[in-house]
Amino acid sequence: MNRIEFRPIPLVGTVLLASVLWFITFYLTWSIFWIKISFSAATLALLSFWLQPNPKEHFKFNGRAIILGFMSAAVLYLIFWTGKAVSAVILPFAGQQIGGIYDKGAGSSMWLIALLLFFITGPAEELYWRGYLQKNLMARFGRWQGWLLATVIYAAVHIWSFNFMLIGAAFVAGAFWGVMYLHLRNLAPVIISHSVWSMVIFAVFPMS
């Protein structure tokens, strides 16, 4: 990976913007949730493209990327099913909070949700959270320190949901995709993983 010039002010600015966008998306009840999260993620992705020229070096769409993307999505889906089963036993409020995650999209077409997650939200989130934020934090603080900090920030912006299960889910998923990017240094399989996983877990085979 080429040397990256760490610019703290733009990076902190994007994190603050992400917090505002996630507040609007999760806390404010107006508009359709899935439209809001797609708009928020797309805004951050476009901003990351503007802040870091020549991002093509981080994309290698090939057979290996596709296989890794689908396989990792399946692994993460199984992790979440296991987590749901365990949390239902040890956390009395888990079932209600998991249901609350799905309630945010109540009334929306499953086709609309699937298309938005696969083509907009999944790719856009990875372009910003891993492709911009984590990459820059790793360049500044080191690989694992940068991964951990990016994962914590990703989970923290979900605090506006006031849903412990969702915050925990964001931490687990963010850590998972973050490790993928840390080792592969290629956003393509991470984007595929996020897009497939989110489409399946929210629209195809939901856990509610």
pLDDT at 1 over 60: no
CA distance 128 to 14: 9
Each residue's pLDDT tens digit, 173-188: 999 999 999 999 999 9
177 token code pair? 């995709």
Amino acid at 144: W
pLDDT at 69: 98
Q: In percent, how much of the chain has pLDDT > 90?
A: 75
CA distance 146 to 206: 32
Average pLDDT over residues 148-171: 96
pLDDT at 148 over 90: yes
Q: Which of 2-16, 77-91, 165-179 has the lowest mean pLDDT?
A: 2-16
Q: Report residue 24's pLDDT band, with 50, 70 and 90 as the boundaries.
A: very high
pLDDT at 6: 79
- Residue 64 makes CB contacts below 8 A (sequence gap 6+) with 189
For the entire predicted model, the pTM comes to 0.94
- Residue 144 makes CB contacts below 8 A (sequence gap 6+) with 182
Higher local confidence (pLDDT), 98 or 170? 170
Is 196 in contact with 118 (CB distance < 8 Å)? Answer: yes
Is 122 in contact with 198 (CB distance < 8 Å)? Answer: yes
15 token code pair? 């994190």
CA distance 96 to 36: 23
